[in-house]
Amino acid sequence: MKTMQIVGYKSSGKTTLTTRLIELLSARSVRVASLKHHGHGGVPLGLEETDSEKHRQAGALIAGVEGAGVLQLSNHHAWRMEQMVAIYKLLHIEVLMMEGFKTYDYDKIVLIRDNEDLHLLEQLTHIKAVITPLNLNQSSYPFPIFKREEIEAFNNWFISFLKL
């Protein structure tokens, strides 16, 4: 399974890009899945008062609920990245698109909004491409830099990078 992270700060376009890349891969019949980090703190909305959450609080190591094709799993402890990725591998996913999880060591596409975000290019690992409205000097970086309007060029790079 290939994994690609889409990272950047709030309102940088992560969800828009992730959605577009999932559509691109799906159109090519690639088995693609997504994993999004709930970066707003606390439990994602809708879990606090559920029966499965009561089960988890009672001591179940993992509590799950399924309905209409939606499976929610809550763990007694924070999920480790290896556990979450293993679930996707069990489902024979070809490409896992991760939105967020900046600090993990998977291949990344970094979204830079403005000069204040540039420090991400020094802090993050495994950067494979950057999308930004800024005029960055390509020769200063070891990865391709795309403007937001260079959608076709970026899509071609992405498919080539994944070797699909």
Q: Which CATH number is 138's domain given?
A: 3.40.50.300
79 inside domain: no
56 inside domain: no
The residues, any chain, with a CB within 8 Å of residue 111's CB and separated by 6 or more, are 6, 7, 8, 9, 12, 13, 14, 17, 117, 130, 131, 132
46 inside domain: no
Query: b or e along 80-102 (b: 16 or more beta carbons within 10 Å of the residue's beta carbon)?
Result: eeeeebeebeeeebebbbbbbbb
Q: What is the pLDDT along the chain (164 residues), one digit of tens a residue?
A: 999 999 999 999 999 999 999 999 999 999 999 998 865 455 554 556 677 777 777 777 777 777 888 887 877 778 899 999 999 999 999 999 999 899 999 999 999 999 999 999 999 999 999 999 999 999 999 999 999 999 999 999 999 999 98
Number of domains in the chain: 1
54 inside domain: no
74 inside domain: no
Strands 107-111 and 70-75: unpaired
| C-beta of residue 8 within 8 angstroms of C-beta of residue 14 | yes
Residue 20's pLDDT is 96
Single pTM value for the model: 0.88
Residue 49's pLDDT is 66
85 inside domain: no
28 inside domain: yes
The beta strand positions in the chain, using DSSP E, are 2-8, 32-36, 62-67, 70-75, 95-99, 107-111, 127-131, 145-146
Domain hosting residue 13, numbered range:
2-38+95-162
